[in-house]
Chain A
Amino acid sequence: MSQILVEELSKTYRIAEREAGTLGALKGLFRRRWRTVEALDRVSFRVAEGELVGLIGPNGAGKSTTIKILSGILEPTSGRCEVGGLVPWRQRQRHVARIGVVFGQRTQLWWDLPVREGFDLLRDIYRVPPDRYARVRDELVALLRLERLLAQPVRQLSLGQRMRCEIAAALLHEPPLIFLDEPTIGLDAPSKLAVREFVGQLNKTRGVTVILTTHDMHDIEALAERVIVIGAGKILADGPFEALRAGALAERRLFVDFDGEAPELTGPDVRVIARQGRQLELAFDPARIAAPALIARIVAAHPVDDIHVEEPPIEEVIARFYDLHGAGEA
């Protein structure tokens, strides 16, 4: 059964515009010009229980709008949406009691309160029975290594520490579904890894459904089996990441270290991307020439020290995908 059902969902905003300069500002006093922006344009998808879905797209594509509608914060202009059988914005209080939400750019814990008291407040807000609360909190504290942070006021935490606390805060009432809106934004590498590992575990071992938006494609690569790409308010792709890669940028990279100066290499099926001393970075399309054939050809013609094949960086795949669909930020 689908846990999330979205059909033909649209959301339009009206934005007041004014002409540049003082004259424009004065004109705006008398007559406002309004522009309608389609943040979401007839979007449809379903998510089953226990899925981990990555929602990606350029800035302003409609990812956050989607999350805000699904979490009951915004009301869509038209379309249908049910989460666990409830309409988020109509049955808001019942709906939000069963979800957890983390907005990476904002904080939900009280700035001046120690983390522990912020958690206690959430226990009262979600009406979690005290014994269950104590059990869940202690588990989360152990998993996210928060022992030393509990007594500190939130404002004294580093971003990485705070984000671990924010994630724990969103899970104290054991929601079966969580929305993570850019949970790794601004984090250093170890914190990112910790967050990724925890989210993956949560999904695998507890069966919690996770909807994740991010601009860090490594989050997607590490976590999401299914990716929904949103651009300019429309769904551009929905499927495993590998399918996206095949459609956007099928080429592979070949790194060759030559024994001596790197030679000029040409051919209809291969292209030099970078040259660095003795190393060449080559791009080739595996549909036109298989990797072993290309390697054999190079090794036969030149003395070679080392050779390895890589897939192009995931950022490039995504950037290429956005380009192909004209989905860059307006």
Chain B
Amino acid sequence: MSALAPYLAVFAGRFQLVLQYRAAAAAGFATQLWFGVIRVLIFAAFYAGAARAPMSLGNAITYTWLSQAFLTFLPWGADPDVAAMVRTGAVAYERVRPVDTYAWWYARALAWSAARVAPRAAMLVVFAGVVLPLVGLGAWGLSPPATPMAAALFAVSALGMALLSASVTLMINTIVVATMTDRGANVLTQSFVNLLSGLILPFAFFPDAARPWLRAQPLAGLVDLPFSIYFGAISGWGAAGAIALQFGWTAALILAGRAWLGAAMKRLQVQGG
């Protein structure tokens, strides 16, 4: 038996399980579609009155559809299962497994976000990238990647998004272990993720002086960097650097997060009984 067997098993198990939630996926698609339309209309209104804009309307629309498609990739809070285990004390069972708790929870988090993204992203890409152009609304739809190279780099960067997102989720899990509740941690995370990932507004729209800092911080790798690679705003060495930054931050967060989770487990208190 391979040393990786437990982690692969929990990834596969959770992925298959979460994929079963069809109603949640359909509801997620409808919601993300609705907000996608609104965000596209806001951009259109803004561009109609703007003398000059930092990115083309087409790119802003593509950025919007991509962010709607990959919305559930983002670390919106603690892993709900982990939060429930901490609340009920079932976290005790996690500690009697012969596995590295960090790697174990990382595999869970990855499976959770991947299984939620898969159906939603597929439906939104089909809608915004295929259906809209077919009915003659291509200008309002998702454009294909700028070049084949951009497509390949985006694929790597999308994997980077997932890995980075899971490492942030594990940080939030650790806060939950330390504080015994997921409420504060989730609210705090949501405001940071909304702003610093570039979800609400692409970094291109921020002041010139702020942009390098925004692009260098860890959450940029969740939205702005990968999508800028997709439509070619970042290309060549710039794209390689952006991907290196994504993976570098992921590695740093994993190392720090694992040490921190270990410390939190030493002070663990098991609720009840």
Q: Which residues of A contact B (CB under 8 A)?
A: 13, 64, 68, 71-75, 92-94, 96-97, 99, 101, 103, 105-108, 110, 112-113, 117, 120-121, 124-129, 181-182
B10 contact set on A, CB distance < 8 A:
121, 124-125
Q: In the complex, are the beta carbons of A124 and B269 less than 8 A apart?
A: no
Task: Count A/B pairs, Cβ under 8 Å.
Answer: 80
Contact B273 A182 (CB under 8 A): yes
Is the CB of B88 closer than 8 A to any CB of chain A? yes
Chain B residues with Cβ under 8 A from A112's Cβ? 17
Contact of B93 among A92, A97, A106, A182 (CB under 8 A): A106
Contact B13 A117 (CB under 8 A): yes
**Bound-complex Cα distance A73 to B94 (A):** 9
**C-alpha gap A94/B269 in the complex (Å):** 22
Asked if residues B6 and A106 are in contact (CB atoms below 8 Å), the reply is no
Within 8 A of A (CB), among B67-119: 88-90, 92-93, 95-100
**Contact: B270 with A73, CB < 8 Å?**
yes
Chain A residues with CB under 8 A of B52? none
Inter-subunit contact A13/B93 (CB<8 Å): no
Contact of B96 among A73, A113, A128 (CB under 8 A): A73
B37 interface contact, C-beta 8 A: no
B253 interfacial contact with A, CB 8 Å: no
Alpha-carbon separation in the docked complex, A110 to B14 (Å): 10
Closest to B97 in A: A125
- Residues in A neighbouring B90, C-beta threshold 8 A: 103, 106-108
- Neighbouring B residues of A93 by C-beta, 8 Å: 98-100
CB B83 to nearest CB in A, in angstroms, measures 14
CB-defined contacts of A181 to chain B, threshold 8 Å: 273
Is B93 within 8 A of A127, CB to CB? no
B1–A127 contact, CB under 8 A?
yes
Which residues does chain A contribute within 8 Å of B8, judged by CB atoms? Answer: 124
Point out the residues of chain A lying under 8 angstroms from B9, CB to CB: 120-121, 124-125
| Pairwise interchain contact A106-B89, C-beta atoms closer than 8 A | yes
**Which chain A residue shows the least CB distance to B267?**
A75
Say whether A101 contacts B93, CB under 8 Å: yes
Report the minimal beta-carbon distance from B87 to chain A, rounded to whole angstroms.
11
Name 12 interchain pairs, CB-CB below 8 A, sorted by A.
Answer: A73-B95, A73-B96, A73-B270, A92-B95, A94-B98, A96-B98, A97-B98, A105-B272, A124-B5, A124-B8, A125-B97, A127-B3
Q: What is the CA–CA distance of A125 and B9 in the complex, to the nearest angstrom?
A: 8
B268 on the interface (CB 8 Å rule)? yes
With a cutoff of 8 Å between Cβ atoms, the chain A residues found around residue B99 in the complex are 93, 125
Q: Within 8 Å CB of B6, what residues of A?
A: 124-125, 127
Q: Judging by beta carbons under 8 Å apart, are A106 and B88 in contact? A: yes
Cα A121 to Cα B99 with chains together (Å): 13
Per the bound structure, the CA–CA distance linking A73 and B89 in Å amounts to 11
Evaluate contact between B98 and A126: CB separation under 8 angstroms. yes
Residue of A nearest to B8 (CB): A124
Q: A13-B269, A103-B93, A105-B89 are in contact. List 15 more A-B contacts (CB 8 A).
A: A71-B96, A73-B95, A73-B268, A93-B99, A103-B92, A103-B273, A105-B273, A107-B90, A112-B17, A113-B13, A121-B9, A124-B6, A124-B10, A125-B98, A127-B1
